[in-house]
Amino acid sequence: MGHHHVTFEDLPQGGEKFEPAKGGKLIGAFGALGALGLAGSAYFFLFTKDNVFGSFAYSWLFAVFFAFTIICGGCFWIMLHNASNSGWGVAIRRLWEQLANMILPLAILSIPLLIPAVQKPLYEWMNHHREAHHHAVEAGTSVYEALHHMAESNPHLHVLTAKYGYLNIYEGFSWYSRFAFYFFVLWFIASKLRSRSVKQDVDGDIKHTIKARQFSCTWLLFFALTVTFAAVDWVQTLDYAWFSTMWGVYIFAGCAWSSMAVTILLVTWLKSLGYLKQVVTEEHFHLMGKLLFAFTVFWAYIAFSQYFLIWYANITEETRFYLTRNTEGWRYVSIFIVVGHFVGPFLALLSQARKKKPFVMVGVCLWILFMHVVDLYWLVIPERGPSLSVGVTVAGAWIGDVVAFIGVVGTVGFLFLRSLANYSLYPCRDPRLLESANVIN
Amino acid sequence: MSAEAATHSHDHAPAYSGAPRILDREPLVLNNRSYSWITNRICGIVENKQPLLWWILFVPSVLLTGLMAFCFIYLISTGVGVWGQKQPVAWAWDITNFVFWIGIGHAGTLISAILFLTRQKWRTSVNRAAEAMTIFAVMCAGLFPAFHVGRVWMVWFLAPIPNANAIWQNFKSPLLWDVFAVSTYFSVSAVFWFLGLVPDLATLRDRCKPGLRKTMYGIFSLGWRGANRHWSHYETAYMLLAALSTPLVLSVHSVVSFDFATSIVPGWHTTIFPPYFVAGAIFGGFAMVLTLMIPVSKIYGLSDLITPKHIDNMAKIILLTGTIVGYAYSMEFFVAYYSANPFELQTFMLRGLYGPSTWAYYFMFGFNVFAPQLFWYRPFRHNLWVVMLVCMCVNAGMWFERYVIIATTLERHLIPGSWRTYEATWVDKYTFLGTFGFFMMLFLLFLRFLPVIAIGEVKGVLPQSNAHNHDHGKEGVQEEDLMAYPDRHVPREAAAV
Amino acid sequence: MSTLKRVHGYLAEFDGAADIYHAAEQVRDAGYQRWDVHSPFPIHGMDDAMGNSRSVLPKLVFVGGMTGTCVAFTLQTLTQTNFWSSIGLGFLQTLAETYPTIVQAKPTDIWTLPAFFPVMFELTILFSAFTTLFGLLALMGLPRLNHPLFASKQFGKFSDDGFFVCIEARDPKFSQEGTKALLEKIGGKNIELVEDEL
C-alpha cells in the first residue's frame, strides 16, 4: 500500500493559498478571450439589427445558459456532498463553492435577456403578450382579455390563453419575477454555504459542518425547482407550444455531468501547478471519474426516455421538438450527440485504471465539455432559423455563437480562476478533511 | 471510529486550539461486538428454536397463501371475468398489484447495489433481508400478469422460442419488454443474493453437526474456504454484479412505466414517468424494508447491528424519495396545465378535484408526500413507532399511487358515454390479500433457514477489520455527543464498556 | 487397515486483520507462490500484501455482455424488420420464418431500433450477470465437495473469527522445517501440518 496517512501535521496552517500569477497563462487566456468576446458582443448588441441581431440573441442565450448549467452543477455537488454527509470530497469542496458563487457575475451577463428587443426574436409568446398589452391599454381591458380577443382571429393563441397563469410577463409571479427568483435562490445557497465553510477555516467549529448539512437538505428542493423552472422559462418556452415533464431532469443531468468534468480539469490543473498535493490523491480522481460515469449513464437514461416516449407515442404537440432536431442538417447533430455524449464517454470511463490517470481524464473531460456545448447548442439553436423565418440555419450566425460563447465563458472563467485566490483552496479546518485526504475506495 | 476516541468525546475542548478536531463516523455495530458474537447472534436465529411469534405469523401466512391459490384456481376455472375490470377499465387491481410488488422488490437491489457502489457501509446490516424481500416480492409480482393472460398454461408463449405456428413475439410491445425486464431482474437478483450468501452458508456449515443440514449447507456453500485468492475474484464479481444491477433496477421500473407512458392515454403519457416510477419504487421498497426489519431486529435482539443510525439513514432516504415523488406529482400537474391539453388537464382534475375516486388521490398524496415529511424532525426518525407508522402509510400510499394511475384514469375515458366507475370484486381483494400471506410465508422461511444479516460483510466493516486502522486518539468527536441530542439512544459511556 | 496420507501443507493461525496482513507480506517476500490467506471476510489491501494480480473477470463479463447485446439485436431485427434482407442476408429471415409487419405505427426498417433498446439492454445485463457467476466459479475452481483443509480441526474457525495462512507442500520452496520456522517467525500460532487422506 503506497499510501502515506495524512495528518494535520502534514498540512500547512491555514490551508493553501492560490497565487494567480502561477496560473497566469490560463487566467490570462480566459481574460483575453472574455474581453474580446464581450467587445464583440457589445458590437452585436449595439450596432446590428434585424436578423443579425436576432440571431445573436440566440447566441447569447446559448452562451449564458451553458455557463448557468455549469454553475448550477457546482451548486448541486456541494449540496449533495453536504446533504449525504459525505467525507470524500471535502478536499475539493471549496472549488465547487467558488464555482457556485459565479452565479453573481452570470446574473449580470444575463441582463440582456431582460431587454424586450433581445426577447423579441427569442420568445414569440412575449411578442403576443406585448401586443395584447398594447390592445389592453387602448381598450381599457385586461391583458388576458385582450389575448383572448386576439385568439379569435389567430387560433394558435388559444394555447397562450390556456397557459396565461404561468406564461406571462405582466401579472403575478411573472417570467420577470421568476428570473430574479432563480438568481436569488442560487446566489443565496452559494453564498450561505461558502460563508459557512470560510468561517470554519477561521474558527474550526464542527457545528458549521452540521449546519451546512441541514441547510443543504432544506434547500435542495428549492434548488431542484429553480433548475427545473429556469430551464422551462429560458429554453422550453422558445417554442411556447411544446412541453415535456422530463425537461427539468434532462437539464439537471447535464448540469451535474458537465460541472464534474470542470472539477476534474480544475483539480488536475491545480495539481500541475503544485497545489492540493497532500489532500487530493488518485483515489479522488477515481471517485470523480465514477461520478462522471454515473452521470454519463444517467443523462443517457433521461435523454433516451424523453426521446423514446415522444417518438413512440407520436403525438403532434410533442413531436415538434424532435422533428425540428431530427430533420435536415440537425439529424446529424442528433446522431452525433448519441455517439459523442453517451457511447464515447461511456466506453472511455469504463476502465478503472483510466479513471485514475489524470492526463487521460483531461482528454475525456475536455471532450465531455465539448459535448455539453453541442447538447445545449442543439437545444437552443435549432429554434433560431424557423423563428427568424430564414430556413433551417442562419448563414454566418456561427460567428455570433463563438463571440457570445467566448465572451461569457471567458469572463466567467477568468473571474472564477481569480476568485480561487480569495480563500484557501480547500476547507483547511473541516472536521472531515483528513477523511477526505485519506479516502480509499 | 474507534471506541477509544468515543470515550474521550465528552471533554469539550475550546472551539479551536492548536490542532483542529475531527468529526468521527458513528459506529456501524454498537457495543464493540466481537466477530464471534456476530456469528453466534446471527447463526443463532437459524440454529435455535423459533420464538412463538414466528409460529403465530407463519400459520396465518400459510393459510393466506392457500387463499391466494384458491382464488387463482377459481379464476382459471371460471375466467378472468371474476375480476372487477370491465370496459373501459381493462386494467385494474391486477396491474396495480403487479407494479406495487415489483416496486417493493426494488429496495433490495438498491441497498445491495447502489449503496455498495457508493460505499455506504451501513448497508451490510440490512442488505441480505432486503435482497430476500426483493426476490419474494418479484415472485408475488409475476403472478398477476401471468394469470391475467387468461390461459396461464400458454404463458410460455411470452418467451421467444420458435414454435409450430411460426409466430414471433412483438418486440415493439412494452408488455414484452416487461417479460424480459422482470425475468432478468429476478434472475440477476437471485444470482446476487446467492453469491452474497455463499460465505455465510459456509459459516453455518462449519457450525453444524454432521447430518442433513450440514450436507445441504455444504452443497450450497460450494466448498467455500475463505481463501484470499477466492475473495479477490469474489469481490470483483460482487462489484460487477452491483454495477450491473444498478442500471437494471432503473431499467425494470422504467420498462414498467413504459407500459403506460408509451400510450397516448391522458394521464399515462408523460415523459417523466420512468424516473418518477423508479423513485417511487425505491421509496416504497425502503418502507417495506423498515416494516420488516424493525420487528425482526426487536424480536431477535439485533439492535446492536441494526442501530438507530441505520433506521435514521433509511428514514432519510424515504424522506428524499418521497419528496422526489412529490416533485413528480407536481410536475405532472403543472404540465397538465401548461400543455394546454384539455384532456390531460381534465384527467388530473378528475383525479384530484372532482372525480369519483379523489379519495384515492388524497390517500396517495397524503401518505407518500406529507407523511414522510415527519422525518425532517430527528426525534421522529428515532422513534420506532413513528417510523413504523410512516412506513405503513408509505406502503399503503404506494399502492394507491398505482391505483390512481391505472384504474381512476381509465374510469373516465375521453368519451363520457363510456364512463364507468370501477369496483373490485371479492376475488380481486382476496387474491391481493393472499399475496401478502405468500410473501410473509417466504420471508419467515428465509428467517428460519438462512442468515438474516450478511455475517461476513458486517465483520468486514468493523474497525478492527481494517488492516491499516489509524487511530487519531483524542481529536475525534461524534455528532451525537457534540449536539447532545435529547433522544440519543446509546450513551457513549455504556458503549465503551 | 492403514490409510495413506499426503501432506497438504502448513496451516498457521494469526490474531487479526492487521496481524495477518503483515504476515502475508513476509510470506510473499520469502518467495512462496502456492499459499493462501483464509479469513472470515475480505481484508482490504490483501491482494497487494500477497502480490496477487487483478482479477480478469471484468474482461470476461464485457465479452459476455456484448454477446447479450448482439443476441438481442439479432433476435429482434431478424423477426421484426427487413434489415437483414436489406444488407443481402435475406436467407436468415427465410430460415427463421419471419413476417415483419408494421405494428404500433413503427416501420419495418432499421429505424425502428429504439423500440428494441429495452430488450437489448436487458439481455446485455442478463448475459453479463451469468458470465459473472459462472466466470467466478471457474476462476475460483468451485464448487467442490471437499478440500484437504477441511481435514484440519481448527480450520472451521475461518468462517467465524479465525485468520489463517496456509502454505502448500506443492510450493517449490516448501520444506517441513523451513516453512514451519517462517510461520513461527512471523507470529503464527497453532501451527499444524495438514494431511490429506488418500
**Mean pLDDT, all residues of chain C:** 89
Residue C163 phi/psi, 5° resolution?
-120, 115
Range in A234-238, B153-157, B227-231 the model is least confident about: B153-157
Confidence of residue A345 (pLDDT cuts 50, 70, 90): very high
| A425, A275 Cβ separation under 8 angstroms | yes
pLDDT at residue A203 in the model: 86
The strand pair at B22-24 and C35-38 is best described as unpaired
Burial class (CB in 10 A: 0-12, 13-18, 19+), A258: buried
Name chain B's partners: 3 or more CB pairs within 8 A.
A, C
What's the CA gap between B170 and C98, in Å, rounded? 11
CA distance B137 to B474: 47
Q: Using DSSP, state whether A93 is helix, strand or coil.
A: helix
CB contact under 8 A, A312 and C45: no
CA A433 to chain C, closest CA, distance in angstroms equals 22
Q: Which chains border C (3 or more CB–CB pairs < 8 Å)?
A: A, B
For the entire predicted model, the pTM comes to: 0.93
Q: pLDDT, tens digit, for every residue of C97-150?
A: 777 888 888 888 888 999 999 999 999 999 999 999 999 999 999 898 888 888
Q: What is the pLDDT of residues B221-262, one digit of tens each?
A: 999 999 999 999 999 999 999 999 999 999 999 999 999 999
Are B21 and A204 a contacting pair at CB < 8 A? yes
Cα angle: A15, vertex A19, A25; to 5 degrees: 140
Residue A3 has pLDDT above 80, yes or no: no
End-to-end Cα, chain B, rounded Å: 15
3-state secondary structure chain B: CCHHHHHHHHCCCCCCCCCCCEEECCCCCHHHCCHHHHHHHHHHHHHCCCCHHHHHHHHHHHHHHHHHHHHHHHHHHHCHHHCCCCCCCCCCHHHHHHHHHHHHCHHHHHHHHHHHHCCCHHHHHCHHHHHHHHHHHHHHHHHHHHHHCCCHHHHHHHCCCCCCCCCCCCCCCHHHHHHHHHHHHHHHHHHHHHHHHHHHHHHHHHHCCCCHHHHHHHHHCCCCCCEHHHHHHHHHHHHHHHHHHHHHHHHHHHHHHHHHHCCCCCCCCCCCHHHHHHHHHHHHHHHHHHHHHHHHHHHCCCCCCCCHHHHHHHHHHHHHHHHHHHHHHHHHHHHHHHCCCHHHHHHHHHHHHHCCCHHHHHHHHHHHHHHHHHHHCHHHHCCHHHHHHHHHHHHHHHHHHHHHHHHHHHHCCCCHHHCCCCCCCHHHHHHHHHHHHHHHHHHHHHHHHCCCCCHHHHHHCCHHHCCCCCCCHHHEEEHHHHHCCCCCCCCHHHHHC
pLDDT, one tens digit per residue, over B353-365 is 888 889 999 999 9
pLDDT in tens, B111-120: 788 888 888 8
CB contact under 8 A, B250 and A206: no
Q: Distance, in angstroms, between C74 CA and closest chain A CA?
A: 20
Q: For residue A257, give the C-alpha cell.
A: 455531468
Mean pLDDT score of chain B, rounded to an integer? 87
Between A166 and B489, the higher pLDDT residue? A166
Contacts C117 to A, Cβ<8 Å: 304, 308
Q: How many CB atoms lie within 10 A of CB B421?
A: 12
CA–CA gap between residue C3 and residue A191 (Å, rounded) = 80
Distance CA A240, CA A235 (A): 10
> Among candidates B410, B100, B137, B98, which has minimal Cα distance to B280?
B100
pLDDT digits (tens, 9 = 90+) for B50-77: 999 999 999 999 999 999 999 999 999 9
Can you give the pLDDT at residue B486? 67
Name every residue in A having a CB less than 8 A away from some CB of C.
1, 304, 307-308, 311-312, 314, 350, 440
Residue A424: DSSP 8-state? B
Preceding omega of B210 cis (within 30 degrees of 0): no
Helix (H, G, I), strand (E, B) or coil at C164: strand
CA distance C7 to A320: 77
Domain definitions of chain C by residue range: 5-52+144-197, 57-140
Angstrom distance (rounded) from CA C15 to CA C40: 12
Q: Which residues pair with C106 in a beta bridge?
A: C103
Q: Which residues of C touch A308 (CB under 8 A)?
A: 114, 117
- Determine whether the interchain pair C114/A440 forms a contact, defined as Cβ–Cβ distance below 8 Å: no
Please give the CATH number for the structural domain made up of C5-52+144-197: 3.30.70
User: Does residue B252 sit at the A interface (CB-CB below 8 Å)?
Assistant: no
pLDDT, tens digit (0-9, with 9 covering 90-100), for B300-343: 989 899 988 899 999 999 999 999 999 999 989 999 999 988 88
- Whole-complex ipTM: 0.92
What sign results for the dihedral spanned by CA atoms B306, B196, B467, B121? negative
